[in-house]
Amino acid sequence: MKLKLISLILLTTILFGSGAYDHGTSAGKAKWDISLTWNPFNYFKDGQTYAVFGYGLTNKLDVHAYYSAYHNGGNNYYGGLFYQFLNSKYLDLATAVGIRAYTDKNLIHLFMPQLLYTLKLTEKLRIGGSIVNIRNKNLNTSRGKTVDCFLMLKVYEHKKYSIDFTVGAFNPVLWEPEIGDWYPTYSIDIKIKN
């Protein structure tokens, strides 16, 4: 039954071609947090195939990175440090700083400041997202703030790993969605505990 549910989620998530996520909860010491999104055969014009990786150096401090492949080239990658400064029963908050570069052009952005959050509604249901200020590499000019918000549902948990499914929306700063200000997103998220 669990395998059928995971298969159904994977098949239905192909509706959106963008996603992956950052949130306010650290991976935890010596644990991996991996988020994956697939834009099938580059079908969606503004879609991305995306992977976000976090590794816990401590229970509050992570190294985190991503690689994003756009439908029309212009891939980019990011690396940075993440620090969770609040861990409460209902809310986790974190900040991060990092650098993004592109594979096809000499362009660098600094992501700072960042505010990342996780609102814990139940054991299996959370709301997460981030607000990120994107700056030019010389720090004197802000390109604007990106915002994302998503619903995270725990679909499977094992003593060695857990799998979440997320669906949400992203308000980009460097491009405009064709309809409205927000672009739909999804991801499959895997936390490796050991």
Q: Is the dihedral of CA 95, 98, 103, 109 positive or negative?
A: positive
The pTM of the full predicted model, rounded to 2 decimals, is: 0.82
Q: How high is the pLDDT of residue 42?
A: 61
Q: In the CATH hierarchy, which fold is given to the domain comprising 2-192? A: Porin (2.40.160)
Residue ranges, the chain, pLDDT below 50: 1-20
- CA-nearest of 30, 88, 85, 91 to 63 is 30
**What digits encode the pLDDT tens for the residues 75-120?**
889 999 999 999 999 999 999 999 999 898 888 999 989 999 999 9
Q: How high is the pLDDT of residue 99?
A: 93
Separation between Cα atoms, residue 70 and residue 194, nearest integer Å: 32
